[in-house]
C-alpha cells in the first residue's frame, strides 16, 4: 500500500520533467483523487511484445497476495519462455504451417503456470526482444518439421536458443528458506480455479457462461455473462474490499492517452447502456486490444469517477505508468474481467 501511495504521490505532484510537459494543463484539470487502492509491485514494461495478458494477470495475482501480507513479485519472462516452448511444438506438429502466437487472455496465464510453474521476477528477468525470439523459434520449428525426425532434436536446439535469448532454465525456486519446484511455487500462489472470469454481452443469456468470441480466446475459455450494471458493481465491490481485478478491453480509442494517463470516451457525458455497449461490440468498435490490472477508484473534484489501472508500458507517463479510465470508458470498453473467488463472493 505504501509503495502504491508513493508512486501515485510522485506522479501526481511532479511539476517538472518529461511527463508533466507531455500532458499539459489537461491532466491538472482532470487529476482525480484516490478513493481506494490495492497494494502493487513496481510497474513493469512489456516492451514491444504481445504479452500484456501475462503481465496483467501476474500483477493481479501479486496484488491479491500483497493484500494478504504475502510478498511476491513474479516473472513474466519465465511464463513467456514456457509459452514459446509450447508454441514451437505446435508449429512443429502442424508440419510448420501454424505460426507461433504470443497473444492470449488472462486465463491462458493461469493455465500455463499450472503446467509449467512460475518463479520470482528477480531470479528470472530478461530484456529479450520477443518478436525476434518468436521469429527464430518459429524458423527453428519449421526447419525441424521439414526433417520429420521427431521433436527431440528440435527441443534441444530450442532450449539452447531460449537459454541464450531469454534466460537459462530454472529448476528450483527459493522463498523464505523453503525450496520449491517452479510447479510447486506456481500452485502456492494460484490454483487453477482461484479466479472467476466475467463479461457482459446480450447475444448470450445472462447468468450463464459462454465462450467469448474474440480473436485472442484461442483456448475457448468460458465467461460468466452478467448485466453491465452487475459487472460494474462486482468490480467496484472487489476494489473496495481490497481485491484487484484483471481487465481486458479496448485501448484503440483516440481518447485513450498513455502519455496523459487518461482514457475516456469522446462523449463521456452520455451514460453507456447495455444496448449501446452491445452495439459498439457488434459494430467492431470495441475490440480486444490490451490487458491491465485495475487497482483502485478515484474521483475528480467535479465528481467524475475513474478506475485506476496498473499498465505494463513502463513508467513514462503522467502517473508513473498508471492509467485512469473513466467509469463510462470501463462500461463501454470492457471485454472481460477476472477476479478472485473471494472478491466475487464478497469475502
- pLDDT, tens digit, for every residue of 314-341? 999 999 999 999 999 999 999 999 999 9
| Predicted local confidence at residue 9, as pLDDT | 37
Q: What is the C-alpha separation between 246 and 66, in angstroms, rounded? A: 15
What is the number of H-type helices and E-type strands within the chain? 12, 13
DSSP run (H or E) holding 190: none
The arithmetic mean of pLDDT across residues 10-31, rounded, is 39
Q: How far is CA 270 from CA 92, 209, 303, 323, 327, in A?
A: 51, 29, 15, 21, 11
Whether the per-residue pLDDT at 23 is higher than 80: the answer is: no
* Confidence category of residue 77, pLDDT binned at 50, 70, 90: very high
| Predicted local confidence at residue 347, as pLDDT | 73
**Residue 28, C-alpha cell as written in the block:** 491538472
The arithmetic mean of pLDDT across residues 129-136, rounded, is 97
| Predicted local confidence at residue 30, as pLDDT | 58
Helix axes 106-116, 52-67, angle to 10 degrees: 80
Amino acid at each position: 500500500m505504501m509503495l502504491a501511495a508513493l508512486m501515485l504521490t510522485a506522479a501526481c505532484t511532479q511539476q517538472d520533467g518529461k511527463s508533466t510537459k507531455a500532458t499539459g494543463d489537461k491532466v491538472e484539470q482532470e487529476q482525480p483523487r484516490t478513493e481506494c487502492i490495492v497494494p502493487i509491485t513496481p510497474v513493469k514494461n512489456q516492451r514491444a511484445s504481445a504479452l500484456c495478458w501475462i503481465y496483467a494477470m501476474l500483477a493481479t495475482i501479486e496484488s491479491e497476495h500483497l493484500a494478504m501480507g504475502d510478498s511476491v513479485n513474479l516473472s513474466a519472462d519465465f511464463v513467456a519462455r514456457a509459452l514459446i516452448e509450447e508454441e514451437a511444438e505446435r508449429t512443429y506438429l502442424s508440419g510448420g504451417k501454424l505460426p507461433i502466437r504470443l497473444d492470449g487472455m488472462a486465463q491462458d496465464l493461469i493455465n500455463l503456470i499450472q503446467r509449467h510453474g512460475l518463479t520470482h521476477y528477480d531470479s528470472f528477468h530478461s530484456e529479450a526482444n520477443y518478436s525476434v525470439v518468436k521469429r527464430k523459434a518459429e524458423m527453428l520449428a519449421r526447419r525441424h518439421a521439414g526433417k520429420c525426425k521427431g521433436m527431440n532434436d528440435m527441443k534441444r536446439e530450442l532450449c539452447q536458443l531460449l537459454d541464450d535469448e531469454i534466460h537459462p532454465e530454472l529448476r528450483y525456486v527459493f522463498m523464505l528458506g523453503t525450496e520449491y519446484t517452479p510447479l510447486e511455487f506456481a500452485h502456492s500462489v494460484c490454483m487453477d480455479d482461484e479466479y472467476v472470469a466475467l463479461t457482459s454481452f446480450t447475444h448470450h443469456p445472462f447468468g450463464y457462461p459462454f465462450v467469448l468470441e474474440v480473436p485472442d480466446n484461442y483456448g475457448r475459455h468460458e465467461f460468466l455473462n452478467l448485466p453491465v450494471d452487475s459487472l460494474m458493481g462486482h468490480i467496484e465491490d472487489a476494489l473496495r474490499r481490497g481485491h484487484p481485478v484483471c481487465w481486458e478491453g479496448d485501448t484503440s480509442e483516440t481518447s485513450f492517452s498513455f502519455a496523459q494517463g487518461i482514457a475516456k470516451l469522446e462523449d463521456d457525458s452520455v451514460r453507456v447502456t447495455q444496448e449501446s455497449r452491445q452495439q459498439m461490440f457488434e459494430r467492431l468498435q470495441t475490440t480486444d486490444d490490451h490487458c491491465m490490472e485495475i487497482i483502485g477508484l478515484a474521483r475528480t473534484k467535479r465528481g467524475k469517477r475513474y478506475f485506476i489501472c496498473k499498465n505494463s508500458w513502463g513508467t513514462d507517463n503522467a502517473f508513473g505508468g498508471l492509467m485512469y479510465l473513466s467509469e463510462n470508458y470501463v462500461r463501454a470498453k470492457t471485454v472481460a474481467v477476472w477476479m478472485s473467488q473471494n472478491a466475487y463472493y464478497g469475502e
